[in-house]
Amino acid sequence: MTTSDPRLLVSTEWLAAHLGAPDMRVLDASWHMPATGRDAYAEFRERHIPGARFFDIDEISDDQSDLPHMAPPVEKFISRMRALGIGDGHRIVIYDSAGLFSAARVWWLFRLFGKTDVAVLDGGLPKWIADGHPVEDGAPILRDRHFTARRHASLVRDVTQVAASAKLGDAQIVDARSPARFRGEEPEPRPGLRSGHIPGAKNVHYSTLLNEDGTMKEPEELRRIFTEAGVDLTKPVITSCGSGITAAVLSLALEQIGHRRHSLYDGSWTEWGSYPDLAVEQG
């Protein structure tokens, strides 16, 4: 293990040793920014960890929302997990094709719906391949399983709650976007959004929490990065980013260092930056 808590992050060696266990389920949660033009599912069909199922972040979402990939209603999440053959009592390991990027979002979704026996593959598919482990193509044959879930509202925040926290200071808002986007020095990738950040927010670019091979840094280093960014780790934290994907990398890192009082702003900057009556800071 390269990390302190195997319930959160598992190594490629650990997964290879447990891959054939009947209670193990592996999910490919790869997702790409729309501008990349990449098709995550097509790439999954070409190459994935043996037995993995594809978790479609954009489809398994709230289709009543105009915002991208918002957390789905609990009934939809249950339906999709059953169809993927994910059942009660399964251990779940999630990975993505970037290393550690969108997998954390799906880890957070499972946590949101009350599932704690869920881990992220440290370093994802790139490290799995680099370490000499096999891949396969095609798609698995799936069989429905019984899956129950209950939404834990404490793990998610909406725009009204975030606005109140920004005003009252009862929780720290930590933004995972790049420093240039956070400061408002470069335009947002989504059209129509203002540039800048939520007033009072701190900036911890998600990539600073990762090693060059896509694995997460050691807990002591994670703690130092948050602290040097001005985050008081004795207080609650609300994580944010562009659209709720990389905010979950911060959430995973906070969990890894034992900080349990964190929630995720699901609408993130896509929502905040589109409201002209919400204050924006730059610089």
Sequential pLDDT tens for the chain (283 residues): 333 355 899 999 999 999 999 999 999 999 998 889 999 999 999 999 999 999 999 999 999 999 999 999 999 999 999 999 999 999 999 999 999 999 999 999 999 999 999 999 999 999 999 999 999 999 888 999 999 999 999 999 999 999 999 999 999 999 999 999 999 999 888 888 999 999 999 999 999 999 999 999 999 999 999 999 999 999 999 999 999 999 999 999 999 999 999 999 999 999 999 999 999 999 9
Q: How many helices (DSSP H) and strands (DSSP E) are in the chain?
A: 10, 10
Are 245 and 98 a contacting pair, CB within 8 Å?
no
Could you give all domains of the chain from N- to C-terminal order, each with its CATH number? 9-151 (3.40.250.10), 154-272 (3.40.250.10)
> What is the rounded CA–CA span in Å between residue 193 and residue 216?
30
Residue 35: per-residue pLDDT: 84
| Nearest by Cα to 275 from 198, 217, 167 | 198
> Residue 1: its pLDDT value, please?
32
- Catalytic annotation, pick one of 173, 241, 253, 257: 241
Please tell me the distance from the alpha carbon of residue 13 to that of residue 45, in angstroms, as a whole number.
23
Question: Which token pair is 148?
Answer: 């129950």
Q: How far apart are CA 129 and CA 113, in angstroms?
A: 31
E strand segments, the chain: 9-10, 24-28, 53-54, 91-95, 118-121, 156-157, 172-175, 202-203, 237-240, 262-265
**Taking Cα atoms as reference points, which of 74, 65, 44, 47 lies closest to residue 56?**
44
Cα–Cα distance measured from residue 62 to residue 69, given in angstroms and rounded to the nearest whole number: 7
The region, left, alpha or beta by phi > 0 then psi within -120 to 50, assigned to residue 108 is alpha
Among the residues of 21-158, which ranges form H helices?
40-46, 74-83, 103-112, 124-130
The values of phi and psi at residue 212, to 5°, are: -60, -25
- Residues 81 and 114: their CA atoms lie apart, in Å, by 13
Do the Cβ atoms of 157 and 263 come closer than 8 Å? yes
Cβ pair 62, 150 in contact under 8 A: no
Helix-strand-coil split of the chain, %, nearest 5: 30, 15, 55
Q: Are 26 and 93 in contact (CB under 8 A)?
A: yes
Known catalytic residue: 241? Answer: yes
Q: What is the end-to-end Cα distance of the chain in Å, rounded? A: 39
pLDDT at 122: 97
